[in-house]
């Protein structure tokens, strides 16, 4: 759905957290990028915790070190 969103709409500002107990005006596009990067960060954390617990890290964008290469 983001792909079909006009650029003018993505450049509009919305209120978003910028510091503890503080809201600021950010472009919608910047909020979307922040949320994407936050998801990537937490996926990385989860992978590390899995490996530390002797778990197998699943494939995310391709085989992980825990999966045999084809």
For residue 21, the model assigns a pLDDT of 93
Query: Residue 3 has what DSSP assignment?
Result: G
Query: Residue 70: which pLDDT band, with cuts at 50, 70 and 90?
Result: low
Closest C-alpha among 35, 52, 33, 51 to residue 60 = 51
Q: For the segment 3-60, what is each residue's pLDDT rounded down to a tens digit?
A: 899 999 999 999 999 999 999 999 999 999 999 988 888 888 888 899 899 998 888 7
Spatial CA neighbour of 66 closest among 30, 57, 33: 57
Encode pLDDT of 23-35 as tens digits: 999 999 999 999 9
Give the global pTM: 0.64
């Amino acid at each position: 759905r983001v792909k079909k969103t006009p650029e003018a709409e993505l450049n509009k500002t919305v209120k978003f957290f910028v510091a503890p107990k503080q809201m600021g005006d950010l472009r919608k596009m910047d909020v979307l990028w922040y949320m994407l990067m936050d998801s990537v960060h937490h996926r990385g954390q989860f992978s590390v915790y899995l490996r530390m617990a002797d778990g197998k890290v699943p494939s995310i964008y391709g085989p992980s070190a825990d999966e045999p290469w084809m």
